[in-house]
Structure formats: structure tokens, C-alpha cells
Amino acid sequence: MKRTVLLITSAVWLLILVAFLLSPSSAKEKEKPKEEKPEPSPTAYNPYPPGILPADLDSELMRVQREIQGIEDATLVQAKALPPLTFTTNPPIIHLNGYQAVETLGKLFQYDLKMSPFENTACASCHMPYAAFSGPIPSVNLTMIAYPGSFHFRAGKRTAQRYPYSPDFPVMEYDTVQAAFIGGNFWDGRATGYILQSPDAHQAQGPPVDTQEMAFPDTACIAFRLQTAPYRFLFEEIFGEGSLDIKFPEDTEDICETPGGAAVFGTSVTPIKLNPSDRVRATEV
């Protein structure tokens, strides 16, 4: 009797085991591939010999970014507190607070980190007030000299010039008394200012599209980022309603998030495909 019960019990458990092994869910479990461990992130390519990049470079860049963002936020508050702009005379001139409005707009642009592909580099990244508007990182000034741009391991060949003097530089010309060329901006004077009659304005066009600095692939990226800037309202108050109404193609964001010089652009310096009238408007901006 006991033997019969034992045989029956064993048979039942055997049937249960066979049913489990043959069930679809069990088969799926067997078929389920083992989860692969994620591969470690590759080490960022560093083309420089040891000792060139300072050890505190990343933390110092983040410090400067925080300082820049703080100034930008405070300036935006100032912009919103400006009284309404009043245009008088013909041609129209902003009455009373025009200079303050233009100065505030320039400051907002100066400290805008979004004026770079990775939204991490502003004009002020290399020109901070407490460093005579030059480079604000002591370890960089003592080692690599030139400042890294939006793509951090790219850097120029010279230290950043000091802003306070740049507006006073004359258009480049030959001085017959000194028998030398004088004027122009940048250390080598290549921003002659001859066409614009202002070396300062000529110089300001360079860094936003310099592949080793702010690194936009197309000057139109500036107008594109201004369209969504929190200070767009002030830009349009000064330069006119609709001054930023440019129809950008759908791939503009992808283009502006890619540093200039990328292989995907080939040799094009205007990869954003704008119609002729929008290209003119973006250039004016």
C-alpha cells in the first residue's frame, strides 16, 4: 500500500516537472539572452603632452560657467525692469534709455552660454571682468595659455585679449612716422576694421564661428539661438518687431549642436540651407 502511494506521488511530481519544463514561459526564460555588462565609456582623446592641460581644468571651467550664468540671470532681471523704449525723431532714435537698453542687450549676449554648440561657452568664458576681461582661470594662464572652447580639447594658439582696450583701437593703417602698421584687433591685427571702420566690430564676428572657440558651424546659428533666447523681447524692441522672424529648416538644431569643422559639413561654412532672403536677414542679425 505504502509502495503504491509513493509511486503515485512520484508520478504526479514528475508530470508537474515535465509540464513546467515544456511551458512557453520556461522556454522564453531559456531563450532570454544574458544581459551584457555595459562597456565603460571611452577615455576622452587628449592630444596634448603631459603637463599641458591643468589638472583642475574641468572644475575650473564649471566654476566659470556658474559665474557666467549668475551674471546672465541678473542681467535678464535688469532687462525686464527697463522702462518701455520710446523712439523719437526721424530716423528713429531711442529716447532717454536707449544707451542703457543697447548696453544691457550686449551684456546678455556676452554672458550667453547657449552661443556655442554644447551650450557651455560664452564670450565671457575667455573675458571675465575680474581678469581685466581676459582669461579667468589661473592654471590655464600658467600652462596652456589659450582657452579651450565649446569642444574642450580644442584651444587656440594665443591668450585672450583684454576687452577694455579693444574699442579704442583704430582701423589698421600704416604710420609713416613710426614706419609701422598700427591698429586692428586680435594680437596680429587681422581684424583690420577696414570694411566696417571698426576693428572691434570686425573682431567680434570671429569667435562665435572659430572652431577652437565658440565653434558654431554657421553664423546663422546665432540668429537661431536668439529666436529662443529669454531676451529676444529686448532684441526686437531695439531692432524692430520681426527682426528675428527667420524660417529655419528642421535640421537647424542638429547643425548648430555640431562644432564647426566636423566632417559632416565637408567644406561648407553655411550648412544651414536658408533661402536667399532669410540668409540676408540672418547675416544682418
> Which CATH number applies to 57-160+203-284: 3.40.50, 1.10.760, 2.60.40, 1.10.1760?
1.10.760
Mean pLDDT of 57-85: 97
Q: Which of 9-18, 38-47, 53-62, 122-131 has the lowest mean pLDDT?
A: 9-18
Eight-state DSSP code of residue 259: -
Separation of alpha carbons 184 and 202, rounded Å:
9
In angstroms, the CA 171 to CA 194 distance is: 6
What grid cell was written down for 283?
A: 547675416
Tens digits of per-residue pLDDT, 73-86?
Answer: 999 999 999 999 99
pLDDT tens-digit series, residues 30-42: 555 555 655 555 5
Burial class (CB in 10 A: 0-12, 13-18, 19+), 139: middle
> Which amino acid, one-letter code, is at 46?
N
- For 114, the grid coordinates are 547657449
